Amino acid sequence: MKENLGLIVLDSHKELGEKINNIINNIRGTDKSYIIPLVNDRFSNGEGKITIKGSVREKDIYILADVGNYNLTYNMHGYLNHVSPDEHYQDIKRVISAISGHAKRVNVVMPLLYQSRQHKRKGRESLDCAVALRELESLGVNNILTIDAHDASICNAIPNTSFNNFYPTKLILDKLREDIGEDVNSSIVISPDMGATERAKYYADSLKCDMGVFYKRRDLTKVIDGKNPIIEHAYMGPSVKDKMVIVVDDMIASGTSIIEVGKMLKERGAEKVYFLVSFALFTEGVSSFKDAYNNGYFDAIYSTNSSYIPKDITDEEWFNLVDTSNLLANVINDLNNGDSLERYFN
């Protein structure tokens, strides 16, 4: 039987794409490149163009992209620009356009879901994530694969298109348990805000341990950097004194909030504080985390490699990288073979 698998790996996820290609080769006992080459041109006025340099006809295509990779740059009108999430998303659409309907099936593998934090509307706000998903659907995408969507119910925006949301919970917990032993089962899981309680409950149920939550009281009369500033973190839950505490969330952005949570947990007598997230974005840099670690506000951060993280961060003694390439490679392999994905959701 002729293999019809094709991986189109954008520059934003080149390293992860190559790992996935190698793992699929190991699974299948083959020695070939499933990656279809492409050229991603960027003109000096900022416009882009993608040219696919291999055959896609009747192939099961998987487009792999990291919309959060801010390390890629280009020159526009003489200035150095970093590629934004909007531009990464546009590149995905360019690939779909270049495929020109020749593929048997088009799948978009977007571990960090584009505009996932703008998933619901309050007043006259844009609804970017839902609009993007509908747009991909209209362009002929058959299947979307992502990791730990900010709100899993966003799939309701495209009820007739396959939307697969995978959680790295087991991978992260396995890594944590490997590092600190079975003591993790006697920990307390903490949600840093009310929005992350379902995720914290999932971790707590997995570990069969207690959980608590911080309530963010915000100043609704002000908006700073697109958000209402936090006035107070109020804790609700069991005592954390002399306990190992696991703080879980889908992502770390600036880190201001989660560092404050770590500080208050240590002030309440927590012995160890670990931050477990799917995406470590560090949008305001890493200096605040270095200071927080040196001040003893937390003991380690665990995050996946599903979105770009600079090497100067991954080299920090307190940072632990959790590899998702094996998960994604197996998902792609099984989906391409028409096998059930049920085991990845359990």
Task: Judge whether residue 166 has pLDDT over 50.
Answer: yes
Task: Judge whether residue 92 has pLDDT over 80.
Answer: yes
Q: Model pTM?
A: 0.91
> How distant, in Å, are the alpha carbons of 69, 73, 87 from that of 83?
8, 6, 6
Task: Judge whether residue 61 has pLDDT over 70.
Answer: yes
For residues 54 and 36, the answer to whether their CB atoms sit within 8 Å is yes
The residue among 189, 218, 186, 213 whose CA lies nearest residue 202 is 189
Residue corresponding to tokens 């002030």 = 267
For residues 320 and 287, the answer to whether their CB atoms sit within 8 Å is no
Domain 169-322: top CATH class: alpha beta
Question: Each residue of 121-158: pLDDT tens digit?
Answer: 777 888 899 999 999 999 999 999 999 998 888 999 99
Q: Say what the pLDDT of residue 269 is.
A: 95
Q: Say what the pLDDT of residue 219 is.
A: 67
Query: Are 5-167+325-345 and 169-322 equal in CATH topology?
Result: yes
Higher pLDDT, residue 233 or 257: 257
Q: Say what the pLDDT of residue 73 is.
A: 94
Task: Judge whether residue 11 has pLDDT over 80.
Answer: yes
- Supply the mean pLDDT for the chain: 92
What is the DSSP secondary-structure string of 196-241? GHHHHHHHHHHHT--EEEEEEEE-TT--BTTBPPEEEEEEESS--T
Task: Judge whether residue 227 has pLDDT over 50.
Answer: yes
Terminal-residue alpha carbon distance, the chain: 31
If one counts every other C-beta atom within 10 angstroms of the C-beta of residue 29, the result is 6
Split at pLDDT 50, 70, 90, the class of 4 is very high
Residue 57: exposure state from Cβ atoms within 10 A (0-12, 13-18, ≥19): exposed
Q: Say what the pLDDT of residue 117 is.
A: 85
Task: Judge whether residue 297 has pLDDT over 50.
Answer: yes
Task: Judge whether residue 1 has pLDDT over 60.
Answer: no
Q: Looking at the domain 5-167+325-345, which fold is it?
A: Rossmann fold (3.40.50)
Task: Judge whether residue 12 has pLDDT over 90.
Answer: yes
Question: Each residue of 306-341: pLDDT tens digit?
Answer: 999 999 899 999 999 999 999 999 999 999 999 999
Task: Judge whether residue 346 has pLDDT over 90.
Answer: no
Tell me which of 168-177, 182-191, 265-274 is least confident.
182-191
For residues 62 and 7, the answer to whether their CB atoms sit within 8 Å is yes
Mean pLDDT of 274-293: 93
Task: Judge whether residue 2 has pLDDT over 80.
Answer: no
Task: Judge whether residue 87 has pLDDT over 50.
Answer: yes
Question: Each residue of 17-33: pLDDT tens digit?
Answer: 999 999 999 999 999 99
Q: Say what the pLDDT of residue 197 is.
A: 87
Domain boundaries, the chain: 5-167+325-345, 169-322
Split at pLDDT 50, 70, 90, the class of 119 is confident
Q: State the DSSP code for 96.
A: H
Exposure class string for 64-92: b at 16+ Cβ within 10 A, else e: bbbbbbbebebeeeeeeeebebebbbebb
